[in-house]
Amino acid sequence: MTSNDSAPGFQLKIVPVTQLQQNAMVFWSTESMRGVLIDPGGEVDRLMQVINDLNVTIEQIWLTHGHIDHAGGAAESKRRLNCDIIGPHADDQFLLDDLTPGTYGIAEAESFTPDKYLSDGDTLDFEGLTFNILHCPGHSPGSVVLHQPQLGLAFVGDVLFQGSIGRTDLPRGNHQQLINSITNKLWPLGNAVSFVPGHGPGSTFEQERQTNNFVADSVLAGSHD
């Protein structure tokens, strides 16, 4: 899904932010013009300008995980938008406690506690849509994926990328746990699901099951972990 694709009645704008080109997103209803801001990692001034230009009213901030490039601008965004921060899973609070201004040039980075943590099986209702929450540890212990079945769309943070998977060398990362999250939680959602990762272009689960260097079916068939 690219930044210009749209589902009936809904639209997604992807805004890569920070030196790490993290995919911050605005997802909104074109009828009500109400939206959510997902992973505002930094460049909050620019994000606010985008939201203003779109004329969207942001109701909530959703976070996929606690790394600074995804969560660094959340506290400042909350202040400016006057809305709640939802997610990630509580197991990422240690990362949210360690958001230090200036890291990766993210001047506004600031520690916080979300208004609500997300757990496996939770749902988020937004403008008639229900997003299902899947706890997918491995890249970080508190990573969550947000899946919307009717749109066939998932926001996966740094769990899965086009052609790759998230790093597992960061604190409390775990390679096998990440593989298990992808194969046990994501693949059962169906090959047709389109996903937006935390960095780089989107893809589908089908494409990754065919071609991903780490989690293609053919690759995993040859591993004996």
| Nearest residue (CB) to Zn ion, 56 versus 179 | 179
Least separation, in Å, of the C-beta of 159 and Zn ion?
A: 9
Q: Which stretch binds Zn ion (CB under 5 A): 77-85, 122-130, 191-199, 216-224?
A: 191-199
The footprint of Zn ion on residues 195-224 (CB under 5 A) is 198
| Nearest residue (CB) to Zn ion, 11 versus 18 | 18
Least separation, in Å, of the C-beta of 222 and Zn ion?
A: 27
Strands across the sheet containing 144-148: 123-126, 129-135, 144-148, 153-157, 194-197, 203-204
* Strand-pair partners of 204: 194
Query: Can you point out the beta strands (E) in the chain?
Result: 6-7, 10-17, 22-29, 34-38, 57-62, 84-86, 123-126, 129-135, 144-148, 153-157, 160-161, 164-165, 194-197, 203-204
Q: Which stretch binds Zn ion (CB under 5 A): 50-58, 155-163, 178-186, 214-222?
A: 155-163
Burial zone of 72 (CB within 10 Å; 0-12 exposed, 13-18 middle, 19+ buried): buried
The footprint of Zn ion on residues 158-177 (CB under 5 A) is 158
69 binds Zn ion (CB under 5 A): yes
| Nearest residue (CB) to Zn ion, 97 versus 217 | 97
DSSP state of 98: T
The answer to whether the CB of 208 falls within 8 A of the CB of 26 is no
DSSP state of 56: P
67 binds Zn ion (CB under 5 A): yes
Least separation, in Å, of the C-beta of 67 and Zn ion?
A: 3
Q: Which stretch binds Zn ion (CB under 5 A): 50-58, 103-111, 190-198, 200-208?
A: 190-198
| Nearest residue (CB) to Zn ion, 67 versus 89 | 67
Which positions lie near Zn ion, rule CB under 5 A? 67, 69, 158, 198
